[in-house]
């Protein structure tokens, strides 16, 4: 008997169905009254490469912001675009995207690139501090340019 009082409701089972690189692909099933729920990790998703302190900066943000940015990055990994992702101005193509999330009275941003075919590169995650409206602060833009050059060198195998 399950902890919810009967049958198989609330019981989860996991089994490895394939391996993809260093991570196994896992099937997750829940047996509930509404049927069987299955979720498979996609084998064709691109890896995330965090540049500089971007991962540490993301982990320092509030949980709701981390979840939204994580969802946006996951969509980029599988080849789609988050509804809130916009092209960052000042870059030559649509390959540099920005997701903006408001939390309490603060605004948080995550910048990533899908310009390269091998991976999604997370360039910068930061809390906006500019007093000039919605404009991205100059030091952050310069850092994004530098990290975009780093991503280009990494993608070329340099």
Can you list the residues of the chain whose pLDDT is less than 50? 1-41
Convert the pLDDT of each residue in 7-40 to its tens digit.
444 444 444 444 444 444 444 443 443 333 334 4
Residue 35 CB neighbours (<10 A):
8
- Amino acid 90: pLDDT: 80
- CA–CA gap between residue 2 and residue 59 (Å, rounded): 35
- CA–CA gap between residue 52 and residue 63 (Å, rounded): 21
37 contacts: CB under 8 Å, gap ≥ 6: 28, 29, 30
């Amino acid at each position: 008997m399950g902890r919810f009082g009967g049958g198989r409701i609330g019981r989860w089972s996991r089994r490895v169905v394939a391996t993809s690189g260093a991570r196994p692909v896992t099937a997750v099933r829940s047996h509930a009254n509404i049927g069987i729920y299955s979720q498979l990790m996609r084998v064709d998703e691109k890896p995330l490469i965090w540049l500089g302190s971007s991962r540490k900066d993301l982990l320092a943000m509030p949980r709701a912001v981390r979840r939204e940015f994580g969802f946006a990055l996951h969509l980029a990994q599988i080849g789609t675009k988050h509804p809130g992702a916009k092209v960052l101005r000042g870059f030559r193509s649509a390959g540099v995207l920005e997701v903006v999330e408001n939390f309490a009275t603060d605004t948080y941003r995550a910048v990533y690139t899908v310009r390269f075919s091998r991976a999604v590169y997370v360039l910068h995650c930061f809390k906006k501090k500019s007093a000039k409206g919605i404009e991205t602060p100059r030091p952050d833009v310069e850092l994004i340019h530098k990290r975009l050059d780093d991503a280009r060198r990494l993608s070329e195998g340099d």
